[in-house]
């Protein structure tokens, strides 16, 4: 997804109300908004495939799975930050704002050429500061490759390639890469 227009000096209240009235999503970093661009077919297929597995695993649990339009709110060094991850899972019944979550246990980003650096660095640092987060998953869309960062005593990286499967401790499910990449031409 390519970030487009940047607007500065936006109040938190104006941002939150504006996001309910526009069709273009914006991420928010302490008064600056960044418009989010469209995603490729591969990006959408991968996100949809992962959503299907996670959504099925969340049935009969307290967990909720969101795709694309649910924000994550973070407070970093006193600054308000809202990101739109590709997928997020929250299992905390008190994490129930209408338009954002604050306590996800799992966040998934499908990597795009224009956002990969941000997903790997800036968002990694931001998301892993959330005490509730157990897993941060980065999925390549140009090859079968998945990076899973898990919180144990510290954050540990696990790499998965074609033919592998990875698990989510948050939802206690397994995602075979063949399902993650179903329908995607590589």
- Report the candidate in 117, 122, 181 with the shortest Cα–Cα distance to residue 146: 181
Please give the pLDDT value at position 165: 98
Mean pLDDT by 10 residues, the chain (186 residues): 71 94 92 90 97 97 95 96 98 97 98 92 96 98 97 95 96 97 96
Please give the pLDDT value at position 122: 94
Pair 87, 50: CB distance under 8 Å:
yes
Please give the pLDDT value at position 153: 87
User: Cα 3–26–91 angle (5° rounding)?
Assistant: 115
Q: Give domain status of residue 31, yes or no.
A: no
Q: Give domain status of residue 134, yes or no.
A: yes
Pair 47, 86: CB distance under 8 Å:
yes
**Count of C-beta atoms within a 10 Å radius of residue 47:** 22
Structural domain harbouring 153 = 40-69+84-180
Please give the pLDDT value at position 3: 43
- Report the candidate in 74, 81, 52 with the shortest Cα–Cα distance to residue 65: 52
Task: State how many domains the chain has.
Answer: 1
Q: Give domain status of residue 25, yes or no.
A: no
Please give the pLDDT value at position 68: 87
Q: Which residues contact 56 (CB under 8 A, 6 or more apart)?
A: 173
Q: Number of helices (H) and strands (E) in the chain: give both, helices first.
A: 5, 14
The enclosing domain of 92 has a CATH number of 3.90.1570.10
């Amino acid at each position: 997804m390519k970030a487009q227009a940047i607007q500065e000096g936006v109040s938190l209240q104006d941002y939150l109300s504006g996001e309910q009235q526009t069709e273009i999503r914006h991420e928010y970093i302490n008064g600056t908004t960044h418009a989010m661009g469209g995603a490729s077919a591969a990006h959408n297929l991968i996100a949809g495939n992962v959503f299907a597995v996670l959504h099925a695993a969340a049935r009969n649990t307290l967990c909720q799975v969101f795709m694309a339009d649910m924000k994550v709110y973070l407070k970093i060094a006193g600054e308000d930050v809202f990101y739109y991850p590709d997928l997020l899972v929250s299992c905390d019944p008190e994490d129930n704002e209408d338009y954002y979550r604050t306590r996800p246990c799992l966040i998934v980003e499908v990597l795009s050429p224009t956002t990969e650096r941000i997903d790997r660095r800036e968002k990694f640092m931001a998301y892993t500061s959330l005490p509730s987060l157990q897993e941060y998953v980065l999925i390549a869309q140009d090859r079968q490759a998945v990076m899973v960062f898990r919180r144990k005593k510290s954050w540990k990286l696990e790499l998965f390639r074609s033919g592998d499967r990875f698990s989510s401790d948050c939802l206690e499910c397994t995602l075979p890469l063949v399902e993650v990449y179903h329908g995607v031409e590589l």
